Structure 1
Amino acid sequence: MKKKGMLAAALGTVLAVSIVFSGCSSKQTVKEGAGKEESGSKGGASKDGAVYTKLYGAEASTLNYLVSSSEGDYKIGANCIDTLVEYDSKGQIKPGLATQWSFDDASLTWTFKLREAKWVDHTGAEVGEVTAQDFVDAMKYQLSPENESANVQNLFGIIASAENYYNGQVYKGGPDKEGNVWETVDFSTVGVKAVDSHTLTYTLDKEVPYFLSSLAYIVYMPAYGPQLESLGKEFGTGADKMYYNGAYYLEEYSPQEKHVLKKNPLNYDADSVYIDEIQEIYNAEYNTIGPEMVKRGEIDYAEISADILDDWLKGEDTKNLVSRERPKTSYSYFYCFNFNPQFDAQYEPDNWRKAVNNENFRKTLFYGLNKAKEVAVIEPSNPDDFVIRSITPPDFTFNAEGVDYTTVGSMKTLEPTFDEAKARGYKDLAMKELSALGVTFPVKVLMPYNPSEINWDKECQVVKQQMEVLLGTDFIDVVVEAGPADGFLTEVRRGGKFALMKCNWGADYADPETWTDPFYQSKGDGGYDLGYKYGNIAKTIEEGTPSAEAAKEYFDLVDVAKGMKVDINARYEAFAKAEASLINHAFVLPYSISVSKYVATKLNVFDGQYAPFGVSNLRYKGQHLLDQYVSMEEYKSNKQKNLK
């Protein structure tokens, strides 16, 4: 994990230019050059004409980074589309497409000066200049409901009039035949403007302490306006259906066959791109085939699963081929309860609906899961190091005094969740209360997994065995089932085809509000937003279940915290109270931070961009393709060099 001092320094860089401090000048400016570090300054020279090859086992559902919030969908966009700001290998912010920026607190307006940059097509041929209008057009595309973007909520309450424009009309007062007056909202009222070809402004709806850090996320990526207008919903449906301004362009996209990314020589920072070509080859059995291909030197990367790890670490011919992924605090894993089950009748959705709306039933499972035993599937040596008791990972962000958010206010009162005595006690209460409601036992707990994710099936089997032994098969029947490898999130999580499932969330910006995004559901005139949030907690309110008041409490606490913009300490205290409420009512079960996978790789993972939010960690820019696979000793040495 990243050292506190380093991450605090990185966050401090963001806050220094994005938070309006009382008594400061009304205008703050940052120019290119301050604190900038040359990308890929370590790790040795790449091979001439370096081609990086790896397998993949699950296909993206779309290339359209403007509409998808799934990392699997926007990995290509992350490497092919540049953002206004970037992060270096140590997590320090630096200029990207913007060379300088300033903020005026009187008008709540950020102004960005853009560098000269080019758009290219899938052959690498130049098609046009990158202009401020490309950012405007991309945001308009996302805010047009017919494009069905899953990212628009990230703009609501942030960019002035974004939500009003998306909804089409705004209430102005006065009577119509229903007693209301409505006015159509024009896009010109939305707080994004191209002042000229190289000057872009964002006007905020209110003060947003973390705004600058959010610019490294897909929702603020540009797209070539004329192409968006001509293609509409066809944008991003093929390599030839989008243009590229990033480190790479997508030469070939053959679904379930091959992806080929080529270095973009017209990119403004091409000298920091050391890998000339990236080839991703589809193979549904990549989990087992990948390591064998590494032995033969046929690919440059493979994950090493738990069932072969010991043999690889002991084998004379493989022990020096194994290293690890870069530790990161950008992801948190947790178990979600589903309050809007849409799974088949054989799994008894109505019975589950009654059970999950009983807090004592949820707490039985909450305290009954031995998280360390499950983490040990991936990390047998030190599983407790990765177990967490909150949704927000430790060392993710710090308040104005440098105090870790996970130790602030109500967060510091959170206790370890595995407790056998408590689990049995809540089981007795739950069985009595649920029996009175006509719930039948054992309650079927549908727990699906994605078969393309290494070790997930093994984790599910550990959970099933451990919880059924502790709680009894007279109480629960954990049903482990493989979901589809392609489209898993759409089919299973968003489709509501689970009862309890391990989920994850990656931070989009440097503020605890980002960890409310999977759960918080806002209330409009038509009720709470349903359908796109994990577990659909608001369903308890809509149906008036026994858990409705607890759900309202969480939503109300988030509303209060979101309203605090200037006093960072008070803001963090408020979000801590909200997160503790979510956890203490067992709406979600915190599980672990990302466990660094064991891998065979020819990349020094510490060469690449890093930030605990946004798309930085997905980028190949700055990385070198080495002549050999990185050993564990080399990995540890590279890690120590990066910490200096």
Structure 2
Amino acid sequence: GVLMKKGLAITLACVMGVSLIGCSTPGKTSTKENDEKKEKVFRYSMLTDVTTLDPQKCNELLSSTIGYHIGEGLTRSIDGEVHSGIAESWDVSEDGLTYTFHLRDAKYSDGETIKAQDFEYAMKRLVDPETASTFAFIAKPLENADEVTAGTKQPNELGVKAVDDKTLECTLGFPAPYFLQILSMPQFYPTRQEIVEEYENEFAANGDKNVYSGPFCLKEWKQNDRIILEKNPEYWDKDAIHLDRVEILIVSDENTALAMFESGELDYVNVPTDAVANYADAEFYKSGAEDFIKINTGEEPMSNRNFRLALNYGLNRKEFIKLSTNDVYEAAQRFVLPEVGGVEKTFGEEYPYEAFPIEGDVDLAKEYLAKAMEEMQIGDPCEIEVELLTSDTERTKKEAEVIQALLQDALGITIHVNLVPRADRLSRENSGNYQMVVSGIQPDYPDPISFLESWETTSPYNHTNYSNPDYDALLQEAYQSGDAKHRMDTLAEAEKVFMEDGGLVPLQYRRNAKLVNKDVTGITNYFCGYDLNFMYGDVK
């Protein structure tokens, strides 16, 4: 484990929240005006509230971002690099299946010692079907994790054991080089059994119904209004933390948030894509989110590989990006985000790949379409009608209309756009009740498997009926491989198999443009695990 340095600032965790005990600052008797001069406060906003601050139930980026700051795992991933967290060091067996963690002397916000047993409890709670965490799948590398979640084995059979207060042993079911990365996520944060049992369903529902192992404590959570964090005086590395307080407001309109930044009420804001042209000083970063057209391969014409390839070659992605986001987003010509880790460098540097040309290839698309029509015994492209399902927001409506226009023009088929509320889209998508749907993915950790695992025949997240024995075999080979280079070669091959099958239509990688108060430093962004990292933020 590497010690964290002050200057580093970005992380990759899905973290969740806990309590405010011991978070007040004693001895503050000066006037309010003097207080404000001394206090370092960072303010930003979110479009929607977090769904939960229960670490094991954390299941989306906003919760993860807060979780990352109010808790700490055995490791802490910053900018995709693994640093020591509550574990000062660790040993890994030669076969990559046994990890032994040695805990540092660290305390929760209420002054109690953080023990190995709290990590064991947290991991068992995560996979226990009683907890019903929708993020239990993240524990997959731990021995018996999937079986416990499925109810075929008991939580006490999970591959985790506290040897003593300061030593935790994790046993894996297969070598997972990204295991140290996922331990930085909130689901794996230490959790105190007696607090969970005291509050039951109310656990972590507000600041005083949990304790905190991270740099900040949850002081206040006023639903759909604000979340207030305060510096944790018991955090083991508190000297590296400069902010006294973080105020996170729920502001559902992007333009309102922008106006609040302009008037000095916020220190950080993402600029709506329509307004980016007005801000020459905006700084861009890739959010990690990728959008694509998910295809239900269960019936014709979507079950026809040549038809799926006609869609992929027929789409001019360069034109799509220009028309739908003013070139703010980046065209996706492959499925796996190139920024995820490879063996030594990024996956994209080590395995460069353009599955489809950026401007499409209409002639080739028409060849694939002709083959498809022959196979399906269709005489004229205008006989082909398909539905494109998407959410009814302004942005997604615009995207769908651009896709519709470009593909109809290139292929001569008819596309019907069906706009529904986001919750309806998700429920139709998850039940396989669609032909094509504009969907997306946000990686949980910086490894290609976070993108590729969903399309295995047996994956609970494969809502597309996609099934390819070659793809499944490559993924299984990658899971079992103890050799990093062979594993990456195999994953790169799997991505090619999937793209050459037209498994989906990659659209775009999202980029955000941000504005930051010039007096605020040390706020960073990363493409997975959290939206922004203010752990090492500072105010002049």
TM-score of the alignment, normalized to the shorter chain, above 0.5 = yes
Q: CA deviation at 1:41?
A: 9.1
Partners of 1:605 and 1:336 lie apart in 2 by 40
Unaligned runs of 5+ in 2: 11-35
Matched residue, 1:180: none
Q: Is the 8 A contact 2:388 2:400 kept in 1?
A: no
- Please give the residue correspondences for 1:240-279 in structure 2 after superposition, counting only pairs within 5 Å: 240-279=208-247
Partners of 2:257 and 2:328 lie apart in 1 by 26
CA-based RMSD:
3.5
Alignment match of 1:622 (pick from 530, 536, 540): 536
- Please give the residue correspondences for 1:119-518 in structure 2 after superposition, counting only pairs within 5 Å: 119-120=108-109, 126=110, 128-156=112-140, 158-169=141-152, 185-232=153-200, 234-284=202-252, 286-310=253-277, 312-313=278-279, 322-327=281-286, 330-339=288-297, 353-376=299-322, 380=326, 386-399=330-343, 402=344, 405-406=347-348, 412=353, 414-416=355-357, 418-434=360-376, 441=383, 443-449=385-391, 451=393, 455-472=395-412, 475-479=413-417, 481=419, 483-484=421-422, 491=427, 493-494=429-430, 496=432, 499-518=435-454
Aligned residue pair count: 514
Q: CA deviation at 1:137?
A: 0.8
Q: CA deviation at 1:611?
A: 6.1
Alignment match of 1:588 (pick from 485, 504, 526): 504
2:482 corresponds to 1:565: yes
- Please give the residue correspondences for 1:56-135 in structure 2 after superposition, counting only pairs within 5 Å: 56-88=46-78, 91-105=80-94, 108-120=97-109, 126=110, 128-135=112-119
What do the CA deviations read for 1:310-334 (whole angstroms, capped 9, x no partner)? 3x23xxxxx5xx4224446x55443
What do the CA deviations read for 1:56-86 (whole angstroms, capped 9, x no partner)? 3223333333134321332221221112222
Partners of 1:304 and 1:230 lie apart in 2 by 43
Q: Is the 8 A contact 1:101 1:113 kept in 2?
A: yes
Q: Is the 8 A contact 1:461 1:480 kept in 2?
A: no
Q: Is the 8 A contact 2:229 2:245 kept in 1?
A: yes
Partners of 2:123 and 2:58 lie apart in 1 by 14
Q: CA deviation at 1:379?
A: 6.5
Query: Residues 391, 41 of structure 1: CA spacing in aligned structure 2 closer, same or farther, 3 A cutoff?
Result: closer
Q: Is the 8 A contact 1:306 1:455 kept in 2?
A: no
Q: CA deviation at 1:482?
A: 5.1
Partners of 2:435 and 2:41 lie apart in 1 by 43
Query: Residues 619, 430 of structure 1: CA spacing in aligned structure 2 closer, same or farther, 3 A cutoff?
Result: same
Q: Is the 8 A contact 2:334 2:353 kept in 1?
A: no
Query: Residues 57, 88 of structure 1: CA spacing in aligned structure 2 closer, same or farther, 3 A cutoff?
Result: closer
Partners of 1:408 and 1:107 lie apart in 2 by 23
- Given residue 195 of structure 2, which amino acid in structure 1 is its aligned partner? Q
- Given residue 576 of structure 1, which amino acid in structure 2 is its aligned partner? A
Q: CA deviation at 1:415?
A: 4.3
Alignment match of 1:607 (pick from 507, 513, 522): 522
Query: Residues 610, 292 of structure 1: CA spacing in aligned structure 2 closer, same or farther, 3 A cutoff?
Result: closer
What do the CA deviations read for 1:159-201 (whole angstroms, capped 9, x no partner)? 22333433444xxxxxxxxxxxxxxx45443221112222211
Tell me the TM-score normalized by structure 1: 0.71
Q: CA deviation at 1:587?
A: 1.1
SS in 2 for 1:460: helix
Partners of 1:492 and 1:51 lie apart in 2 by 42
Partners of 1:107 and 1:391 lie apart in 2 by 28
What do the CA deviations read for 1:456-506 (whole angstroms, capped 9, x no partner)? 44333322332233233xx2224152524xx68854643556543444334
Partners of 1:336 and 1:425 lie apart in 2 by 22
SS in 1 for 2:38: coil
Q: Bigger CA drift: 286-295 or 52-61?
A: 52-61
Partners of 1:75 and 1:167 lie apart in 2 by 28
Percent of residue pairs identical? 22
SS in 2 for 1:599: strand
Tell me the TM-score normalized by structure 2: 0.83
SS in 1 for 2:454: coil
SS in 2 for 1:281: strand
- Given residue 94 of structure 1, which amino acid in structure 2 is its aligned partner? H
Q: Is the 8 A contact 1:377 1:455 kept in 2?
A: no
- Given residue 405 of structure 2, which amino acid in structure 1 is its aligned partner? Q
Q: Is the 8 A contact 2:293 2:438 kept in 1?
A: yes
Q: CA deviation at 1:140?
A: 1.0
Q: Is the 8 A contact 2:520 2:539 kept in 1?
A: no
SS in 2 for 1:128: coil
Q: CA deviation at 1:141?
A: 0.9
Unaligned runs of 5+ in 1: 1-29, 121-125, 170-184, 314-318, 341-352, 523-528, 541-547, 627-644
SS in 2 for 1:447: strand
SS in 2 for 1:372: helix
Query: Residues 282, 613 of structure 1: CA spacing in aligned structure 2 closer, same or farther, 3 A cutoff?
Result: closer
Q: CA deviation at 1:565?
A: 1.5
Query: Residues 497, 601 of structure 1: CA spacing in aligned structure 2 closer, same or farther, 3 A cutoff?
Result: farther
- Given residue 607 of structure 1, which amino acid in structure 2 is its aligned partner? G
Q: Is the 8 A contact 2:100 2:168 kept in 1?
A: yes
Q: Is the 8 A contact 2:267 2:520 kept in 1?
A: no
Q: CA deviation at 1:136?
A: 0.7
Q: CA deviation at 1:92?
A: 4.0
Q: Is the 8 A contact 2:106 2:113 kept in 1?
A: yes
- Given residue 294 of structure 2, which amino acid in structure 1 is its aligned partner? C
SS in 2 for 1:202: strand
What do the CA deviations read for 1:203-249 (whole angstroms, capped 9, x no partner)? 22233333223322334222222223344555444444433221222
Partners of 2:222 and 2:255 lie apart in 1 by 22
What do the CA deviations read for 1:346-380 (whole angstroms, capped 9, x no partner)? xxxxxxx4332222232222222222223335764
Query: Residues 276, 107 of structure 1: CA spacing in aligned structure 2 closer, same or farther, 3 A cutoff?
Result: closer
What do the CA deviations read for 1:247-274 (whole angstroms, capped 9, x no partner)? 2222222222222222222222222223
- Given residue 337 of structure 1, which amino acid in structure 2 is its aligned partner? I
Partners of 1:441 and 1:280 lie apart in 2 by 52
SS in 1 for 2:57: coil
Partners of 1:41 and 1:151 lie apart in 2 by 25
- Given residue 138 of structure 2, which amino acid in structure 1 is its aligned partner? N
Q: Is the 8 A contact 1:79 1:246 kept in 2?
A: yes
